[in-house]
């Protein structure tokens, strides 16, 4: 624990090998992110159709506020999204029991698709997975989704499972950090991370609160998975160094900040109808005032100044949040192009979104050996989560 300000704290997890990361000979000692994969549900919805759907349902009840609230769809930076159910299903209210049943059904299918893709890319079989971290905040299931997946997908009976709930948009980054923590436990650790959200199931067709309308314009469904492996005793060449595949990424450091007196900025309220979104319109202002000093403290602890970070892979909460990040960090909006592209194509999927952004950057071939990449997100608490990655050079 590093004290940074009265009443505030920054928790940073840095590998014991960190002092050696500047020497290529020791890079392989860090936990390694070997693959990332994503999955989307089958129902594709254009943003124009989503706007028309909501206008039909709410315009009369919203009255004078209708045009102002519906403009959020036009200014969202989103052209399309994916939902787990056909759009007409959302027209009628569904109680918590029904949405929970739909969550279990569709979460299990998406988790299996994303995990199979990540395992295949890493060349790992389900039976080799030693730890399974499952992150989600949009549904409740006991036995948890990871237990159901392990039963049906061939994981070993001794796999160590860690379901994590309640981290919201920050969950994918926090899950990646926890996966790296487990990978550090010893040689042979193979950690599967799954971040999955079905945000659309929280849609409330009779709730005219402005936050419900804004959430309907932004949030969507999706899943991502990643494989993180233990530090190897012998150096491994990077696949990208030999056949053009994306480089593997060493997990250099992770950090978290929980800001005091901010519980009302983001989260859920729960009633008989299910989950109701809570988020503040002041989030962009908060980003401008708080994120840079918080981020610089984290990077200083990892020995990497902000100007030495090559790639900014941030969660795209929305266009205004991305603008606030660019303002706060004094950097060009173009540096968040992968975040904007994911937002445009897929909407805000909450926890898996950062892993979609990471996958996009890897697919573009922009991460070269030795490059640093910062994956970051904000979530309920109100909290920040950071993971610093370094693309492996493949050097022994």
**Domain end call among 182, 203, 229:** 229
Residue 287: which CATH number?
3.40.47.10
Among all chains, which residue has been given the structure tokens 């490059």? Answer: 371
> Which of 64-68, 80-84, 158-162, 281-285 bottoms out in mean pLDDT, i.e. has the lowest?
64-68
Task: Decide if pLDDT at 277 tops 80.
Answer: no
Task: Decide if pLDDT at 385 tops 70.
Answer: yes
26 within domain boundaries:
no
Task: Decide if pLDDT at 244 tops 70.
Answer: no
Considering only the C-alpha atoms of the chain, give the largest distance between any 2 of them, rounded to a whole number of Å.
Answer: 67
Are 195 and 300 contained in the same domain? no
When divided into structural domains, the chain yields a total of: 2
Would you state the pLDDT for residue 215?
A: 85
| For range 120-134, the mean pLDDT | 95
Task: Decide if pLDDT at 238 tops 70.
Answer: no
Task: Decide if pLDDT at 77 tops 70.
Answer: yes
Are 201 and 263 contained in the same domain? no
| For range 37-42, the mean pLDDT | 97
Query: Beta strand 249-258 with 274-279: parallel, antiparallel or unpaired?
Result: unpaired
Task: Decide if pLDDT at 83 tops 60.
Answer: yes
| For range 353-382, the mean pLDDT | 93
Catalytic residue among 169, 199, 346, 354: 169
Task: Decide if pLDDT at 248 tops 70.
Answer: yes
CA–CA separation, 227 and 180 (whole Å): 10
Would you state the pLDDT for residue 204?
A: 81
Are 219 and 83 contained in the same domain? yes
Active-site residue, 169 included: yes
28 within domain boundaries:
no
Are 184 and 111 contained in the same domain? yes
Per-residue confidence band for 156, with pLDDT thresholds at 50, 70 and 90: very high
Of residues 152 and 62, the one with the higher pLDDT is 152
30 within domain boundaries:
no
Are 118 and 91 contained in the same domain? yes
Instruction: Work out the angle at residue 139's Cα, subtended by the Cα atoms of residues 150 and 195, and round it to the nearest 5 degrees.
Output: 55
Among all chains, which residue has been given the structure tokens 């519906």? Answer: 70
Are 120 and 80 contained in the same domain? yes
**Domain end call among 201, 229, 257:** 229
Are 89 and 177 contained in the same domain? yes
Q: What is the domain extent for residue 197?
A: 39-229
Are 126 and 160 contained in the same domain? yes
Whose CA is closest to 149, among 105, 89, 86?
Answer: 105
CB atoms closer than 10 angstroms to residue 174: 26
280-335 per-position pLDDT tens digit: 778 888 888 889 999 999 999 999 999 999 999 999 988 899 999 999 999 999 99
| For range 266-281, the mean pLDDT | 73
94 within domain boundaries:
yes
CB atoms closer than 10 angstroms to residue 262: 15
Would you state the pLDDT for residue 394?
A: 55
| For range 93-107, the mean pLDDT | 92
Are 188 and 96 contained in the same domain? yes
| For range 59-78, the mean pLDDT | 79
Task: Decide if pLDDT at 120 tops 50.
Answer: yes
Are 255 and 379 contained in the same domain? yes
Per-residue confidence band for 270, with pLDDT thresholds at 50, 70 and 90: confident
> Do the beta carbons of residue 206 and residue 146 sit within 8 Å?
no
**Domain end call among 176, 201, 229:** 229
Task: Decide if pLDDT at 393 tops 90.
Answer: no
Per-residue confidence band for 245, with pLDDT thresholds at 50, 70 and 90: low
32 within domain boundaries:
no
Are 63 and 199 contained in the same domain? yes
Task: Decide if pLDDT at 27 tops 80.
Answer: no
Task: Decide if pLDDT at 188 tops 90.
Answer: no
**Average pLDDT for the chain:** 85
Are 276 and 375 contained in the same domain? yes
Per-residue confidence band for 177, with pLDDT thresholds at 50, 70 and 90: very high
Whose CA is closest to 9, among 254, 180, 255?
Answer: 255
Buried/exposed 112-134: b ≥16 CB within 10 Å, e otherwise: bbbbebbbebbebebebbbbbbb
Would you state the pLDDT for residue 247?
A: 78
CB atoms closer than 10 angstroms to residue 136: 30
Of residues 387 and 3, the one with the higher pLDDT is 387
Q: What is this structure's pTM?
A: 0.86
Whose CA is closest to 293, among 328, 335, 321?
Answer: 328
> Which of 24-33, 110-119, 139-148, 287-296 bottoms out in mean pLDDT, i.e. has the lowest?
24-33
């Amino acid at each position: 624990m590093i004290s940074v300000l009265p009443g505030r704290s920054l928790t940073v997890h840095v590998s014991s090998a960190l002092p050696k990361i500047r020497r290529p000979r020791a890079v392989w000692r860090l936990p390694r992110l070997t693959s990332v994969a994503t999955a989307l549900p089958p129902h594709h919805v254009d943003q124009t159709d989503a706007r028309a759907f909501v206008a039909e349902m709410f315009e009369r009840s919203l009255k004078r506020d209708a045009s102002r609230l519906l403009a959020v769809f036009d200014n969202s930076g989103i052209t399309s999204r994916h939902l787990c159910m056909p759009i007409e299903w959302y027209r009628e209210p569904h109680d918590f029991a029904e949405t929970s049943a739909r969550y279990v059904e569709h979460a299990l299918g998406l988790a299996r698709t994303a995990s199979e893709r990540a395992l295949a890319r890493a060349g790992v079989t389900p039976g080799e997975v030693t730890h399974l971290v499952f992150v989600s905040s949009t549904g409740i299931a006991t036995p948890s989704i990871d237990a159901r997946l392990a039963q049906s997908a061939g994981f070993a009976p001794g796999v160590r499972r860690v379901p994590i709930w309640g981290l919201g948009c920050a969950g994918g980054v926090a899950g990646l950090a926890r996966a790296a923590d487990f990978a550090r436990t010893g040689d042979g650790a193979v950690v599967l991370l799954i971040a999955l959200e079905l945000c659309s199931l929280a849609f409330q067709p009779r709730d005219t609160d402005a936050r419900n309308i804004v959430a309907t314009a932004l949030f969507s469904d999706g899943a991502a998975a990643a494989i993180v492996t233990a530090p190897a005793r012998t150096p491994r060449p990077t696949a990208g160094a030999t056949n053009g595949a994306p480089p593997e990424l060493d997990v250099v450091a992770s950090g978290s900040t929980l800001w005091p007196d901010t519980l009302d900025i983001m989260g859920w309220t729960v009633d008989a109808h299910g989950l109701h979104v809570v988020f503040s319109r002041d989030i962009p202002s908060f980003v401008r005032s708080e994120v840079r000093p918080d981020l610089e403290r984290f990077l200083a602890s990892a020995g990497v100044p902000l100007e030495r970070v090559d790639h900014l892979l941030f969660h795209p909460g929305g266009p205004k949040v991305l603008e606030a990040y660019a303002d706060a960090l004094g950097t060009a909006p173009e540096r968040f192009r992968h975040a904007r592209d994911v937002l445009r194509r897929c909407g805000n999927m909450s926890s898996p979104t950062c892993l979609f952004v990471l996958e996009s950057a890897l697919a573009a071939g922009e991460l070269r050996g030795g490059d640093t990449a910062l994956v970051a997100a904000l979530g309920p608490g109100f909290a920040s989560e950071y993971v610093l990655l370094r693309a492996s050079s493949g050097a022994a």
